[in-house]
A and B are shown apart, each in its own frame.
Chain A
């Protein structure tokens, strides 16, 4: 099973700043199968990025994804107040989907 480790656990930033969230895999991940989600309290996760770098429908272009192999990054170029939430990465490999433990993006 591929384990995804996200860092930092909590990221404290101000609106307008740039956020960089990391997702590291215990073994190489097919980039086509690396996904990022956003989750707000009381809501289901929302798809942001699929295939490591493709924005889902309706996702603002301030969100971008990059990376390959074992290291992936979600970048939010200029934080909007609505962006403060939990973020998860997820991968598919060996017929199993696994998620990272999440990064909480909070207002500083």
Chain B
């Protein structure tokens, strides 16, 4: 049973960098794309970006200038960094697995609430 476990800081000040990590347990890391998705009351569900085991990335153009997604295959982990956060970045952040054959997010992490406040 594949599980995704997330961790990272939940309270940030404006202009700081959001940093989250997602560990993949009980399954293969390769052969999938791994995404970060966020959910806020104002904007609903928003896809942030994805990466595969080879480090190939694809980012949402609306966030591309501020984000970096990386992978550590030795640890089966992916990470998200979002620079210069504002209150608009306050959201629950999820990591999720996407098999290319289904193009659907089939397994999700538990979610991390990130609040940006001065």
Given A44-B111, A95-B58, A96-B60, decide whether A90 and B45 contact each other with a Cβ distance below 8 A: yes
By DSSP majority rule, is chain A's interface helix, strand, loop, or mixed? strand
Chain A 85-102 interface residues, beta-carbon cutoff 8 Å to B: 88, 90, 92, 95-102
**In the complex, how many residues of chain B place their beta carbon closer than 8 angstroms to a beta carbon of chain A?**
20
- The residue that A98 contacts in the complex, of B35, B47, B108, with Cβ under 8 A, is B47
A28 within 8 A of B: no
Q: In whole angstroms, what is the CA distance A9 to B110 when docked?
A: 25
| Total residues of chain A contacting the partner, CB 8 A | 23
Flag whether A22 is at the interface (Cβ < 8 A): no
The docked-state distance in angstroms from the alpha carbon of A30 to that of B58 is 19
Contact, CB under 8 Å: B103 / A96 = no
The distance from the CB of B5 to the nearest CB of chain A, in whole angstroms, is 12
Assess the B105–A47 pair: CB atoms within 8 A.
yes
The interface of chain B, by Cβ under 8 A from chain A, is 35, 37, 44-47, 58, 60-61, 94, 96, 102-106, 108-111
Q: Which residues of A contact B (CB under 8 A)?
A: 32-33, 35, 37, 44-47, 50-51, 54, 56, 88, 90, 92, 95-102
